[in-house]
Structure 1
Amino acid sequence: MPRTGFEVELLAPRGASRLDLAVDLARRCGGRVVRRFHVDTESSATPGVRAFWHLTPAFDVVDDAGNLRCSLVDDTTIVADLDASAPARPGWFRVLSDDPRLLRLVLRYADPAEGIGSVLTPVAAVFGSQVVEVAGVHRLDDSAGATIALAAPLPGERERPCELVTPPFTDRHDERLEELLAAARDLGFSVPREAAVHVNLDAAGFRDVARFRQVVEFFAAREDLHRRFATNPHCRRLGPLPADLVDLVGRDWPDWESLRAAAARTAVTKYADVDVTRVLRVRPGPDVLEVRLLPGSVDGVAIARQAAQLWGSLRSAGRSAGRSTR
């Protein structure tokens, strides 16, 4: 298998959190835990606001040589196994804004090691304003009274979801995954109801007319792939590739840039069985092709085996397509 990264969705047992796994992994490798914020979105119940952007507690595990072993972050798709009525766990909070530009500014100035009452203080200094607490929520407004950001307690066991994100592995994928997931099993982490495993492949290898066509046509056979790889029917944020993209790749293209420009104008989204947005350079972030349809698991060997099967099938589809065009 080529250079490959993994995202494995897990759930901490009640009373534990993703921080517990981070601490245990750091202990096992003689490293340390680096606290940071994870940026994501969530739906909004506020009239006139479609979604909030938020920062939530995330943890990088760094070994004794300073190498990143993995990151542990929240995943907002994991909800079914959580007790939404549970009280907020002390020390766990999120920072919210309805404007991603403002949230990026907060991210620049806020220290993730600070508590809920002080995390927005450096940002308040930028605006010449003050943070005000209302019913446990710390709100920062600008001088005109427009809200910049809120710091609010995390609701309903949101410290339990744990997406384990690895750096790219160049070899021994099964062993490297199992080193991480054995610790999760030992601590009682489980596979949540909506879980998936995402496989991240280097995007550069797919910036080619034939290779990109191969990817799109391979994942267009959606029902067959879901059966073959036992895709979790409860997994959220999956979907087919846009029909106009599937149509586009079947045409003749003089070069990759011509195809890329046309494909970028289709309704491509991250939330599909395969995320091609970064191959097309229409969304910032890691330079990867992200395959999102593998089922959840806490078994590193099984995950690596399925990823290798997926890669083998994708390569075979490419060879078959190549023969059919000659």
Structure 2
Amino acid sequence: MGVEIELMAPPGRSRSTLATDLADRYGGQVRAVWHHDSEPSLVPGLGRFLHLTQGFEVRRPDGSLLCTLVDDVTLLAGLDPRTPPPPGWHRILSDDSRLIRLIERHSDPAAPLDTALSAVAELWGSTVEQLGAVRRLNDATGATIALAAPQGGERERPCEIVTPPLATDHLTALEELLAPARELGFTVPHEAAVHLHVDAGPFHQPHALANLVRLFAHWREPLRAVLQTNPACTRLAPLPAPLVQAVEGTPAWEQLAEAAEAAELTKFFDVNLTQLFREVPIRDTVEIRILPGAIHGADIVHRAALVELLLDRCAEPQPVPVPPADPAAATNALLDLAAGALATQP
């Protein structure tokens, strides 16, 4: 299981503060990294910019990964957009996903704004132009390749903790990260969620994937009630209709894949199934996105245990049933599904 935990640093501190604290506590090292996401564009005709923002990888003394700390663009409440950027904080923007991946490979996230695009400019045989606080890289025809710009608006404060896969002793591993965050004054943001990444292996079987779709489609409201999903959390949505319709019978894998393609499946649903349908997955996981924000490991572990039981039920050959119409009865029936899965464990 891997976990993503959205937190907010107090004013005057940042995800870099937490990274340094963790490295100092455990005798490890911090390395700056780039984090991919997107933001709305103010350019007419361009819906969004892809961007790279500064994150931090914390490694233990033996070199193994402790965690990665990155920005999350959905965390906005309590941030002052008028705040000027602290020294050293900037982002890189482009409108092409292939370019942004190439820029990531050739730009040092620890470098200052002035040189953020220098190595990339050499690839194109071009030079970086300064436009006020912004650095712009054009190709030989004058087409813009990328911009580097200061990162203001307190965007250094949002901090998503991304763990490596945790095989055992989940509570201890989470508290290793969250206890220091609490001591530094980090809090749970208004829009926060916790995301669980679980092994996708069982869900490459069509019956298990069909059950997973049934669980998150038909049991959506009971799941949100039991897990206490944050209503302020964005980038959540019911699974798309073509995929839900595909599990009404006993679909083969090809039918599920066709339905996912027809639905233009993205990660921004209650459960992220996109990696199941990639020829070469970035990581072979299913991402559960509806857990509420938390800053105590016990809260995460308790909810994750319930999710794990429900996923075990999905792996069984029998179809997941439709819930009762009454909300209270549906909630109880969901807990019964989990209890039934627990009872079958050796």
TM-score using structure 1 length:
0.94
Note the alpha carbon deviations across 1:7-66, whole angstroms, 9 max, x for none: 000000000000010011111211100111111111112111111011110101100111
Query: Quick one: which amino acid aligns to residue 196 of structure 1?
Result: A
> What per-residue deviation string (whole Å, max 9, x for no partner) do you get for residues 240-277 of structure 1?
00111011022233x43453344333232210100011
Equivalent residue, structure 2, for 1:225: 223
Q: Distance in 2 between matches of 1:128 and 1:318?
A: 54
Q: Which amino acid aligns with 2:241?
A: A
State the match for 2:307 in structure 1.
310
Residue matched to 2:248: 250
Q: How far does residue 195 in structure 1 lie from its aligned partner after superposition?
A: 0.2
Aligned pairs for 1:124-273 (under 5 A) are 124-220=121-217, 221-253=219-251, 255-273=252-270
Match of 1:96 in 2: 93
Query: Among 104, 107, 110, which residue is 1:107 paired with?
Result: 104
Tell me how far apart the structure 2 counterparts of residues 320 and 284 of structure 1 sit (CA, whole Å): 25
Alpha-carbon distance in 1 for matches of 2:259, 2:279: 12
Letter in structure 1 aligned against 2:59: V
Q: Which runs of 5+ in 2 are unaligned?
A: 322-346
Task: Give 1:120 shift.
Answer: 0.5
**SS, match of residue 182 in structure 1:** helix
1:62 is matched with which residue: 59, 82, 88? 59
Which residue identity lines up with residue 111 of structure 2 in the other structure?
Answer: E
Q: Is the 8 A contact 1:9 1:195 kept in 2?
A: yes
- C-alpha displacement at 1:319, in angstroms? 4.6
Amino acid at match of 2:78: D
The equivalences for 1:270-285 within 5 A come to 270-281=267-278, 284-285=281-282
Q: Considering only aligned residues, what root-mean-square deviation do their CA atoms show, in Å?
A: 1.7
Q: Which ranges in structure 1 are unaligned for 5 or more consecutive residues?
A: none
Pick aligned residue for 1:290 from 276, 287, 292: 287
Is the 1:264–1:282 Cα contact (8 Å) retained in structure 2? no
Report the secondary structure of 1:278's partner residue: helix
**CA offsets 1:55-84 (integer angstroms, 9 cap, x no match):** 110101100111001000000000112111
Q: What is the rounded CA distance, in whole Å, between the counterparts of 2:79 and 2:282 in structure 1?
A: 29
Q: Is the 8 A contact 2:271 2:290 kept in 1?
A: yes
1: CA distance, partners of 2:265 / 2:175 = 33
Contact 2:207 2:250 in 1 (8 A): no
Shift in Å at residue 316 of structure 1? Answer: 3.7
Aligned-partner SS, 1:321: coil
Structure 1: how far apart are the matches of 2:48 and 2:304?
33
Using the TM superposition, name which of 190-199 and 223-232 deviates more.
223-232
Q: SS where residue 77 of structure 1 aligns?
A: coil
Structure 1 residue 116, shift from structure 2 partner: 0.3
2:119 to 117, 122, 125: 122
Residues 130 and 205 of structure 1: CA distance in aligned 2, closer, same or farther (over 3 Å): same
| 1:209-232, Cα deviation, whole Å (9 max, x unpaired) | 111011101111211111111100
SS in 2 for 1:177: helix
How far apart, CA to CA, are the structure 1 residues paired with 2:66 and 2:143? 41
* Partner Cα distance (1:302, 1:270) in 2: 24
The answer to whether the 8 A contact 2:128-2:136 is kept is yes
- Matched residues in 2 for 1:320 and 1:148: separation? 51
Matched, 1:41 2:38: yes
Following TM superposition, by how much is the alpha carbon of 1:139 offset from its aligned partner in structure 2, in angstroms? 0.6
Q: How many residues align?
A: 320
Identity %: 48
CA distance in 1, matches of 2:61, 2:52: 27
1:279 partner SS: helix
C-alpha distance in 2, partners of 1:283/1:159?
A: 32
Q: CA 1:32–1:300 in structure 2 vs 1: closer, same or farther (change >3 Å)?
A: same
Contact 2:203/2:315 (CA < 8 Å) preserved in 1? no
Aligned partner letter, 1:5: G
Matched, 1:19 2:16: yes
Post-superposition offset of 1:128 = 1.2
Distance 1:211 1:264 in 2: 19
Residues in 1 aligned to 2:203 and 2:320: alpha-carbon distance in whole angstroms: 18
